[in-house]
Amino acid sequence: MLYFIQGAAKIGNYTHTVALISHDTAKNFFLTESNNPWIENAVAFIEGNRIALLYDYFDHKDDDIELHATYIEMPQKFAN
């Protein structure tokens, strides 16, 4: 389990502060046949043990992407 603290995404020549959003909100940002969302600022959501980054793919489809995130991962048990 991850606990997201803060994040920044470097997409091409731009750096965005990354906001954490819920799964319900993230559904509005998914690309579908009838939805090609414009995402002004990158957002992220946690799915299991990974952080998924959502950004405007149309404007940045050829750019390199780096996500710098500060998070806490639930530690393993030390003893039974």
> Taking the alpha carbons of 24, 35, 29, 50 in that order, is the dihedral positive or negative?
positive
Number of independent structural domains in the chain: 1
- Give me the residues paired with residue 71 across strands: 4
Average pLDDT over residues 64-77: 83
Closest by CA position to 51, among listed 73, 76, 75: 73
**pLDDT for res 80:** 67
In a domain, 18, yes or no: yes
Q: What is the pLDDT of residues 16-52, one digit of tens each?
A: 889 899 989 998 888 788 888 888 888 988 888 788 8
pLDDT band at 78 (very low <50, low <70, confident <90, very high): confident
In a domain, 78, yes or no: no
In a domain, 79, yes or no: no
In a domain, 80, yes or no: no
How many CA atoms lie less than 13 Å away from 6 in the CB half-sphere? 3
How many CA atoms lie less than 13 Å away from 76 in the CB half-sphere? 2
The more confidently predicted of residues 10 and 77 is 10
In a domain, 54, yes or no: yes
In a domain, 57, yes or no: yes
Cα(49)–Cα(41) distance, integer angstroms = 23
**pLDDT for res 48:** 80
In a domain, 38, yes or no: yes
In a domain, 13, yes or no: yes
- Structural domain span for residue 33: 2-73
